[in-house]
Structure 1
Amino acid sequence: MTFGSKETRRKRLAELLIEKSYREGDFTLTSGRKSDYYFDCKQTALHPEGGYLLGKLLLAEALAFGESIHGVGGMTLGADPLVTSVSVLSYADVLAGRVNARPLPAFIVRKKPKGHGTDQYLEGLANFPAGARVVMLEDVVTTGGTLLTACERVAAAGLRVAGIVCVLDRQEGGAEAISKAGYRLVSLFTRSSLLEAAGRR
């Protein structure tokens, strides 16, 4: 099933996300808001099949931003397995001789500067030329505040954010804030589409 069409992969990923990452109940989110569900994407991203499926689907969305995309990045910790999977799978596609495949290096945005050495926010910057166009990856978007902070740090490091791809858009104002800041957000799922794809509704 894993090696099927994009829709087959999306359905299987939804099933894994529901099984491993989606919980209903009474939760307080990072933003301080209350929610009747919680989404912990890392549980799926660190699973071998889940990481593969996330990498394949996120890679396709990142490449859809155009041939000038040089790589992918995201804020630690949620984006760490996502950017790694996308980068490794992009090179696997090159080795397999797939049409339009190209290697995409990855970077990680720290929450705080390193504090020693280069004292920088971005790890992996040596793989990117100045002004390179990149796609930001995110596990879940709620208000968009953390993601926009990451984008500011990426711009300050001399890279250009061409777009953003997230696994889940909670549809709680984040997409609007991101759009207002001048970025385009693409999401693999919303809550309703995730449940539908997994056959829950």
Structure 2
Amino acid sequence: MTPKRKHLASRSALGAAAVAALMAAGTLVAVPAAEAAAPQPDAAQRAGTSTTFVIPPGVTTYRAGTASAHVTVTRSPSVSPAVAITCQVTASNPFRFYGGPFPYPSGVEGIAHVTCNNVVNSIDLLVVLFRGTTALSSNERVTYSTLTAAADTEYQYSPGSYQTGAIASVTFPDGSSGTSSPAYSAVTTIP
């Protein structure tokens, strides 16, 4: 079991009032390192065929060429070192679905989302569906070079009180990473 799963799955039984206090979503903040050095100034003046590539945020170098051609690397605008990247983790309220495929023609689903204010290298999102204090199912999804990510998990329907939990690890353009605090939905009673 990964540390994120342990963190979500090992939470103690919380009363409805305590859970309501935990409903605020987690936030990640990182400030990227200084931008990489610009390409050599004489690169555009060399003879031969030139091709321009846009390098996505987080990539520091791109090398390609032959004896008869060279590549001019154009870095896409990156986030200023003075600007923070924030990512919001949200666990949506669980809901009942009908007519789903085997193995759960009727079930309960929990969905989690992450939204960042700038492109990040990757978002590793774990979502867990709880009934009471028992973790019923989970799903982990990694999304690369993105502003947003989503993951869902489902379990066979039975009446009860359900809650969605989520936690995310984000790798920022400068290579640093951070893990959010767990985010929980409201406790939802599904009759």
Q: Compare relative contact order (CA 8 Å, sep 6+) and give the higher one, 1 or 2.
A: 2
Greater Rg by CA: 2
TM class, shorter-chain normalised? under 0.3
- TM-score, structure 2 normalization: 0.21
- TM-score, structure 1 normalization: 0.20
